[in-house]
Amino acid sequence: MSQVVPQKVYLLVFATLMCLTLVTVDVAFYNFGILNLWVALAIATFKATIVVMYFMHVKYSSKLTWVFAISGIFWLAILFTLTMGDYLTR
Amino acid sequence: MWSFPLLPDRASTVATQVDMLYFFLVAVSLFFSLVIIVGLVYSAVRYRKDSKASREGAVHEHLGLELAWSIIPLGIAMGIFVWSSVLYLGMHVAPSGAMEIYVVGKQWMWKIQHPQGNREINELHVPVGKPVKLIMTSQDVIHSFYIPAFRIKQDVLPGRYSTQWFQATTPGVYHLFCAEYCGTSHSGMIGKVIVLDQPEYEAWLAGGSSTAMSSSGAELFKQFGCQTCHKSGSSQRGPSLDGLFGKQVALINGEKVVADQEYLRESILNPAAKITQGYLPFMPTYRNQLSHEQINQLVEYVKGLGGQTSASEHP
Amino acid sequence: MSSQLAHHFEDMSQQREASSLGMWAFIVTEVMFFGAVFTAYGICRMMYPNAFGEASNKLSVLLGAVNTGVLICSSLTMALAVRSAQLNKTKSIIGFLIATMILGGAFLGIKVLEYSHKIHEHLIPGLDFVYEGVHAPQAEIFFSFYFVMTGLHALHMIIGIGIMVWLLVLAMRNRLTDQYYAPIEITGLYWHLVDIVWIFLFPLIYLIGRA
Amino acid sequence: MKHNQTIATPEDYIHAGYGVRSWLFTVDHKRIAILYLLSITLFFFVGGFFALLLRLELLTPQGDLVSAETYNKLFTMHGVTMVFFFLIPSIPAVLGNFLVPMMVGAKDLAFPRLNLLSWYLYSVGGLFTLYAMVTGGIDTGWTFYTPYSSSYALTNVVPVVIGLFILGFSSILTALNFIATIHRMRAPGLTWFRLPLFIWAMYATSVITVLGTPVIAITLVLLGFETAMGAGIFDPALGGDPILFQHLFWFYSHPAVYIMILPSMGVISEVVTCFARKKIFGYHFMAFAIMGIAVLSFLVWGHHMFVSGQSIYVGMVFSALSFLVAIPSAIKVFNWTATMYKGSISFHTPILYAFGFIGLFTIGGLTGLFLASLATDVHLTDTYFIVAHFHYIMVGGAIMGYLAGLHFWWPKITGRMYNEAWAKFSALILFVGFNLTFFPQFILGHLGMPRRYYVYPDEFQVLNVMSTAGATILGLGYIIPMVYLIWSLRKPRDVGENPWGATGLEWKTPSPPTTHNFESTPVVDGDPYQYSPEERA
Instruction: Count up the domains in chain A and report the number.
Output: 2
**Predicted TM-score (pTM) above 0.80:** yes
Chain C: residue whose CA lies nearest to B283? C134
Q: What is the mean pLDDT of chain C?
A: 92
What is the share, in percent, of chain C residues with pLDDT greater than 70?
99
Distance separating alpha carbons of residues B105 and C75, to the nearest angstrom: 54
The domain in which residue A30 lies consists of 1-56
Contacts of D294 (CB under 8 A, 6+ apart): D204, D205, D207, D208, D255, D258, D262
For residues C145-166, average pLDDT: 96
For residues C147-158, average pLDDT: 96
**Is the CB of D298 less than 8 angstroms away from the CB of A83?**
no
B48 near D349, Cβ under 8 Å?
A: no
Residues of A numbered 33-72 whose beta carbons fall under 8 angstroms of chain D's beta carbons: which are they? 64, 71-72
Q: How long, in residues, is chain B? A: 315
pLDDT tens digits, A63-72: 999 999 999 9
For residues B189-197, average pLDDT: 96
Which amino acid is it at D334? F
Please indicate, yes or no, whether residues A45 and A72 belong to a single structural domain of this protein. Answer: no
pLDDT tens digits, D406-419: 999 999 999 999 99
User: For residue B224, is it within any domain?
Assistant: yes
Please indicate, yes or no, whether residues A13 and A32 belong to a single structural domain of this protein. Answer: yes
Q: How far is B81 from chain C (nearest CA, A)?
A: 29
D135 touches A: beta carbon within 8 Å: no
DSSP state of C142: H
Peptide bond into B108 cis (omega under 30): yes
D363 touches B: beta carbon within 8 Å: yes
pLDDT of residue B235: 57
Distances (CA, A) of D81 to C209, D32, D85: 45, 20, 5
User: For residue B18, is it within any domain?
Assistant: no
pLDDT of residue C177: 86
Q: How confident is the model at residue B3 (pLDDT cuts 50, 70, 90)?
A: low
Question: How many interface pairs between B and D have CB atoms less than 8 angstroms apart?
Answer: 281
Contacts of C137 in chain B (CB under 8 A): 270
Distance separating alpha carbons of residues B315 and D316, to the nearest angstrom: 13
Q: How far is D255 from chain C (nearest CA, A)?
A: 14
pLDDT tens digits, D290-306: 999 999 999 999 999 99
What is the share, in percent, of chain B residues with pLDDT greater than 70?
94
Chain A: residue whose CA lies nearest to C30? A72
Low-confidence ranges of chain A (pLDDT < 70): 1-2
Q: Among B143, B172, B207, which residue terminates a domain?
A: B207
Question: How many interface pairs between A and D have CB atoms less than 8 angstroms apart?
Answer: 38
DSSP strands (E only) in D185-241: none
Q: How confident is the model at residue C133 (pLDDT cuts 50, 70, 90)?
A: confident
Produce one character per residue of A6-43: b if its CB has 16 or more CB atoms within 10 Å, e if not.
eeeebeebbeebbebbeebbebbeeeeeeebbebbeeb
Q: Is B46 exposed, middle or buried (0-12, 13-18, 19+ CB in 10 A)?
A: middle
| Residue B310, pLDDT above cutoff 70 | no
Among candidates D183, D298, D301 on the partner chain, residue whose Cβ is nearest the Cβ of A75:
D298
Distance separating alpha carbons of residues D267 and D358, to the nearest angstrom: 12
Q: How far is A28 from chain C (nearest CA, A)?
A: 6
Please indicate, yes or no, whether residues A89 and A72 belong to a single structural domain of this protein. Answer: yes
Which position has the higher pLDDT, D420 or B247?
A: D420
Closest CA to C199 of D18, D33, A48: A48
Q: Is B223 exposed, middle or buried (0-12, 13-18, 19+ CB in 10 A)?
A: exposed
Q: Where are the domains of chain D?
A: 24-531
Q: How long, in residues, is chain C? A: 211
B271 touches C: beta carbon within 8 Å: yes
Name the maximum alpha-carbon separation found in chain C: 67
Distance separating alpha carbons of residues C136 and C129, to the nearest angstrom: 9
Contacts of B21 in chain D (CB under 8 A): 373, 375-376
pLDDT of residue B313: 39
Q: How confident is the model at residue D463 (pLDDT cuts 50, 70, 90)?
A: very high
- What CATH number does the domain containing B109 carry? 2.60.40.420
Q: How confident is the model at residue B284 (pLDDT cuts 50, 70, 90)?
A: confident
pLDDT of residue B234: 58
pLDDT of residue B240: 82
pLDDT of residue B248: 87
Please indicate, yes or no, whether residues B188 and B230 belong to a single structural domain of this protein. Answer: no
pLDDT tens digits, B147-184: 999 999 999 999 999 999 999 999 999 999 999 999 99
User: For residue C211, is it within any domain?
Assistant: no
pLDDT of residue C167: 94
pLDDT tens digits, B86-123: 999 999 889 988 999 999 999 999 999 999 999 999 99
pLDDT tens digits, C188-197: 999 999 999 9
Q: How far is D337 from chain B (nearest CA, A)?
A: 6
pLDDT of residue A1: 43
- Tell me which of B234-243, C93-102, D55-64 is least confident: B234-243
D535 near D343, Cβ under 8 Å?
A: no
**Is the CB of A85 less than 8 angstroms away from the CB of D314?**
yes
Sign for the pseudo-dihedral over CA of B210, B128, D444, D324: negative
pLDDT tens digits, D497-531: 999 999 999 999 998 999 999 988 899 988 999 98
State phi, psi for C139 to the nearest 5 degrees: -65, -35
Distance separating alpha carbons of residues C14 and D187, to the nearest angstrom: 12
Q: How confident is the model at residue B2 (pLDDT cuts 50, 70, 90)?
A: low
Instruction: Count up the domains in chain C and report the number.
Output: 1
Closest CA to D176 of C57, B118, C28, A64: C28
Distances (CA, A) of D276 to A43, D356, D526: 59, 15, 19
pLDDT of residue B104: 96
Distances (CA, A) of C75 to B259, C69, C101, D7, D244: 52, 10, 10, 57, 34
Q: What is the mean pLDDT of chain D?
A: 93
User: For residue C147, is it within any domain?
Assistant: yes
Peptide bond into C125 cis (omega under 30): no
pLDDT of residue D428: 96
- What CATH number does the domain containing B243 carry? 1.10.760.10
The domain in which residue B126 lies consists of 99-207
pLDDT tens digits, D334-347: 999 999 999 999 99
- Tell me which of B84-93, B226-235, D429-438, D489-498 is least confident: B226-235
pLDDT of residue B58: 85
- In D373-513, which residue ranges form alpha helices assigned H by DSSP? 374-380, 384-391, 400-414, 420-447, 461-488
| Residue D223, pLDDT above cutoff 50 | yes
Distance separating alpha carbons of residues D77 and D139, to the nearest angstrom: 8
pLDDT of residue C4: 77
- What CATH number does the domain containing C189 carry? 1.20.120.80
The CATH fold assigned to D24-531 is: Cytochrome C Oxidase; Chain A (1.20.210)
The domain in which residue C167 lies consists of 2-206
Q: How confident is the model at residue B307 (pLDDT cuts 50, 70, 90)?
A: low
**Is the CB of A80 less than 8 angstroms away from the CB of C39?**
yes
Among candidates D68, D311, D345 on the partner chain, residue whose Cβ is nearest the Cβ of B49:
D345
For residues C156-180, average pLDDT: 93
pLDDT tens digits, D91-130: 999 999 999 999 999 999 999 999 999 999 999 999 999 9
